[in-house]
Structure 1
């Protein structure tokens, strides 16, 4: 086994273990799951959620979308595809509308089964302490906010369906990150990219785990999500190593298209789920914006540093 392959395998194991470590902190520490804490406890959880929102916002604009646009432009150029139609952006929109249509189909199916009496958020059982009231309920219960329940404009915010789509889009992106490591031909470049992904992914998986816990996803499924997500980058590294060993060059265009669909999914989750959830709830709005900016700034700084 040559040295380059050993470095790639080491990166694979390191990414797996560190992602599991940071992912299981919110999932296993009871403090993150406690919904009956003090007002200070709920405020801190809300600010952590806002920080995670800033992280995902930066990942959307500074990582996922730029990577996709770079890859799809290179592939279209290599195949001499010239068109005035904004094809790369259209693929992102296709990913956005795919999630939107799927979610509304699922919600419509639930409404048809439950009738007019069942209007609760998708699959939510209220265990996360973030109840979502509807118009007449909010009017009848003005003290819900003070009791630890948030009344939001977005009635399906923090639903397990959206959390699953967030997990899916991040997982697909992680495969491509791992693929970038596996396709490198110098050990210095492997280490450089691996360190960047380690720092980046540790923050991402922590934020993902917080969102899963807040969505009242069953603890067993949270563990499954985190475990699968942790294996995505190593899977990408393994695929990249296999491609390098087999000397294959096909499939780059398919990869770029999948990146675009994942980017569209991530745009939907970021702007329809993550940010509205906290910004539509009353209390400490400026502080919430500050923590969103903090999460965004940290990710922006990491991106700037390479």
Structure 2
């Protein structure tokens, strides 16, 4: 097999496979999501574990190889960068959207027999969670039991979380594709392809599941996001195959810096968006659900960790 043939095969396998796995969650019907909400939540927690492992165990060590002194700093910069963007988006869009959604949900209480004054007072009632009246729980005022989990899901009305996740995974996909395209023999290309495929398809499925869970989900947005994600590896392979000087690329600091920034972005999305949201949604509805979510996170983290260690490969 010629080198160009192996590179073309890698582009087809990564591009098409990533697109298919990323689109699978879009074909899960809304009725199925309503029938099995805890399973869907555990699936998203599983994806959170995969992304957490991808950030800390997979991407950060690769960045540290060529940027040993500042890789952790760049990870934190990526974390704070998405944090800042998220807050800026929230300033302009978050408050209005949140009040509108709460108002729409509370209007249901008016139709159920509440008067206008009573419904208005519910706006500041701490027992209102997702527009529904809840009993006092641990951590509420007047309840002595302590609780370390918010009962209200974090604001998720903007798509900044999904955009941050997509950008991080796109950068990582380009770098992995670049590593494949820079290989100098067909056997090296196929070996590295197998290593990348082993986790890329899992990450693609997790991205698709997170897009489905976002408040602004639509089939068109889902297709565009998955196309961008799957196209990252294809473009990276094409760029790597077209480069004449491999040494210059391998010695540049731009690659580990981008890798570390992307790792920080994934870390923020996982610990500030996905996991807090899913824990809050189920903390009062079914308290034992937290154990199932924890197991799902550990399974996702463990799967990604084992995949990284068993099929370790060097990125540019």
Q: TM-score, normalised by structure 1?
A: 0.79
Q: Distance in 2 between matches of 1:215 and 1:117?
A: 18
CA shift for structure 1 position 139? 9.7
Report the aligned-residue RMSD.
2.7
Structure 1 position 289 matched with structure 2 position 294: yes
What SS does the aligned partner of 2:183 have?
A: coil
Structure 1 position 300 matched with structure 2 position 298: no
Alignment-derived partner of residue 84 in structure 2: 101
CA shift for structure 1 position 158? 7.5
Which stretch has the larger CA shift, 154-163 or 217-226?
154-163
Q: 2:28 aligns with which of 15, 27, 30?
A: 30
Q: Spell out, residue by residue over 1:188-233, the C-alpha distance to the aligned partner (whole angstroms, 9 max, x if none).
A: 2211110111121111000100000110322101110001111100
What SS does the aligned partner of 1:185 have?
A: coil
Structure 1 position 61 matched with structure 2 position 56: yes
On the 8 A contact 1:91/1:261 being kept in 2, the answer is yes
On the 8 A contact 2:90/2:158 being kept in 1, the answer is no
Structure 1 residues 295, 116: closer, same or farther in 2, change over 3 A? Answer: closer
Larger radius of gyration: 2
Structure 1 position 10 matched with structure 2 position 9: yes
Q: Distance in 2 between matches of 1:241 and 1:14?
A: 16
What SS does the aligned partner of 1:249 have?
A: helix
Tell me, which stretches of 5 or more residues in structure 2 are unaligned?
103-123, 136-149, 312-316
CA shift for structure 1 position 246? 5.2
Q: Distance in 2 between matches of 1:218 and 1:262?
A: 25
5 Å-filtered alignment, 1:1-306, equals: 3-27=2-26, 29-31=27-29, 33-34=30-31, 37-38=34-35, 41-73=36-68, 86-110=69-93, 114=96, 117-118=99-100, 135=126, 137-138=128-129, 141-142=132-133, 152-157=151-156, 159-216=158-215, 217-243=217-243, 245=244, 249-250=248-249, 252-280=252-280, 281-282=282-283, 283=286, 284-306=289-311
Structure 1 residues 101, 293: closer, same or farther in 2, change over 3 A? Answer: same
On the 8 A contact 2:166/2:225 being kept in 1, the answer is yes
Q: TM-score, normalised by structure 2?
A: 0.77
Q: Distance in 1 between matches of 2:94 and 2:130?
A: 23
Q: Distance in 2 between matches of 1:153 and 1:176?
A: 37
On the 8 A contact 2:180/2:192 being kept in 1, the answer is yes
Q: Distance in 1 between matches of 2:224 and 2:97?
A: 32
CA shift for structure 1 position 181? 0.5
CA shift for structure 1 position 89? 2.0
Q: Distance in 2 between matches of 1:139 and 1:171?
A: 33
Q: Which runs of 4+ in 1 moved over 3 A?
A: 33-36, 114-120, 133-136, 151-154, 245-248
CA shift for structure 1 position 273? 1.0
Query: For this pair of structures, how many residues does the alignment match?
Result: 269
What SS does the aligned partner of 1:37 have?
A: helix
